Copies of this chain bind each other. A is one copy, B any other.
Amino acid sequence: MNEAVVLTPERILEATEDVLRRFGLTKATVVDVARALDVSHGSVYRHFPSKASLRDAVAKRWLDRANEPLCKIAAGDGPAPERLEQWLRTAFTIKQKKVCDDPEMFATYLALAQDAREVVEAYKDKQVDLIAKILSDGVAQGVFEIDNVKATARAVFDATVRYHHPAHAEEWAKPECPGRIDALLALLLKGLRVCKP
């Protein structure tokens, strides 16, 4: 039982990402994954009940990795407005970078996410919680004026959908984008801040 050759979910996920990268979503099969691991495809089914669940797990891994830097920003303790702006800009940049660096792989993950609705929903909820954290910090700091933090966090998330939802990915590279992001963030931050007369 050499630990290097034990078949673990982790190793299977690694191999699955590899296969996806090489073959693309439509061509990648469970048999390919098994071949990459040098086992029979039956063994894969010992760890994941179906191809769909394997795909979900890959999607979750991917989303969790992408989320890490955002968790750190939300957990920080600077002034909330700057932190919110940084959080949103980072969220945009992460996505934009992924689509620029490897559009093919991004398309693969996008298609993957289409079927992993539950996983994506959980991920979005986590994002909203992070925003809510920053907002409530801002309220505590006396810089934000917010009735319902949870609902407002959701509103901020919704308002920025255009720059983090992959359905709009093809617009992200356009030259007018940065200016539009600036205008959007300015509008949102003004809506959150306490009025200074």
Q: For chain A, what secondary structure do more than half of its interface residues adopt (helix, strand, loop), or is it mixed?
A: helix
Q: Which of A28-36, A62-70, A176-184 lies at the interface with chain B?
A: A176-184
In the complex, are the beta carbons of B186 and A188 less than 8 A apart? no
Nearest chain B CB to A122 CB, angstrom units: 16
A151 to B180, Cβ gap below 8 A?
yes
Residues of B within 8 A of A197 (CB): 195-197
Q: Smallest CB-CB separation from A190: which chain B residue? A: B191
Give Cα A184–Cα B179 distance, bound, in whole angstroms: 21
Which chain B residues border A165 with CB–CB below 8 Å?
162, 167-168
| A180: B residues at CB distance < 8 A | 151, 154-155, 158
Contacts of A160 in B (CB 8 A): 159
Which of B183, B186, B188, B196 contacts A187, CB < 8 Å? B188
- Are A192's CB and B187's CB within 8 A? yes
Beta-carbon contact of B167 and A183 below 8 Å = no
Taking beta carbons and an 8 Å cutoff, which residues of A are in contact with B? 147-148, 151-152, 154-156, 158-163, 165, 167-168, 179-180, 183-184, 186-192, 195-197
Q: Which 10 A-B pairs have the closest CB atoms?
A: A197-B197, A191-B191, A195-B195, A167-B167, A159-B159, A155-B183, A151-B183, A190-B191, A155-B184, A161-B162
